[in-house]
């Protein structure tokens, strides 16, 4: 297999394989934005380019690496979600604003937003797209929010809430939170 070296940007001089080990999101970005005839830079600015045969091979290789990375990422996410949400049930009434006490589990950065995952004191999974505070993993928060929808994904029931506002500072102890 031919090793393709990146000739520009923050990973200049590295091969796609080297970059994929440390920064797979860059390879995903590269595979979507370095296309035949156009290179789309950060901020959406387009630069015309005419890739030669080697660069065309590089584009194909980047797409292959990106597909593998995304498949591995999805498999890992599914496994984690099933583990976290084995006993999860739907929470609250859709459209009714209420209080929740929940532990911050993780943040997943998507294209132009982030998905935050929390677990309440009964083990139920709650998600939201944005928060007006910066949660820390393992800390409990008392918030007010509105359940928007109940959904089941990969056999895990979760409740997506929106219009979230922080009621109190983080609660450090799980037993205090209950």
* pLDDT at 149 (0 to 100): 94
Q: Do residues 71 and 102 both lie within one domain?
A: no
Query: Is residue 86 a part of any domain in this protein?
Result: no
Nearest to 115 by CA among 88, 142, 153, 87: 153
Whole-angstrom Cα distance, residue 178 to residue 43? Answer: 45
* pLDDT at 121 (0 to 100): 84
Q: Do residues 145 and 103 both lie within one domain?
A: yes
* pLDDT at 159 (0 to 100): 93
Last residue of a domain, one of 18, 41, 75: 75
Query: Is residue 89 a part of any domain in this protein?
Result: no
Q: Domain of 37?
A: 9-75
* pLDDT at 120 (0 to 100): 86
Whole-angstrom Cα distance, residue 131 to residue 114? Answer: 9
- Rg value, the chain, Cα: 21
Q: Which residues pair with 40 in a beta bridge?
A: 46
Q: Do 157 and 115 contact (CB within 8 A), yes or no?
A: no
Last residue of a domain, one of 44, 75, 106: 75
Query: Is residue 87 a part of any domain in this protein?
Result: no
pTM listed for this prediction: 0.52
Query: Is residue 84 a part of any domain in this protein?
Result: no
* pLDDT at 78 (0 to 100): 59
* pLDDT of the chain, 178 residues: tens digit per residue: 456 677 767 888 888 778 777 777 777 777 766 655 555 555 556 555 555 666 666 667 777 777 777 676 666 665 665 566 567 889 999 999 999 998 888 888 877 778 888 988 888 889 988 766 788 888 888 889 999 999 887 778 889 999 888 887 777 655 444 4
């Amino acid at each position: 297999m031919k090793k393709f070296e990146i000739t520009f940007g923050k990973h200049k001089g590295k091969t796609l394989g080297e970059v994929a080990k440390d920064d797979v999101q860059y390879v995903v970005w590269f595979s979507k934005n370095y296309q035949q005839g156009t290179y789309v830079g950060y901020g959406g600015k387009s630069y015309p380019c005419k890739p030669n045969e080697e660069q065309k091979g590089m584009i194909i290789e980047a797409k292959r690496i990106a597909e593998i990375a995304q498949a591995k990422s999805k498999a890992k996410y599914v496994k984690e979600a099933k583990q976290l949400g084995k006993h999860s049930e739907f929470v609250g009434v859709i459209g009714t604003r209420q209080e929740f006490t929940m532990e911050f589990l993780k943040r997943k950065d998507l294209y132009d937003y982030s998905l935050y995952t929390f677990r309440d004191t009964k083990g139920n999974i709650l998600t939201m797209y944005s928060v007006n505070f910066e949660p820390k993993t393992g800390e409990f928060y008392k918030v007010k929010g509105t359940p928007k929808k109940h959904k089941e994904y990969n056999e895990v029931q979760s409740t997506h809430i929106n219009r979230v506002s922080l009621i109190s500072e983080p609660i450090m102890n799980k037993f205090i939170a209950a």
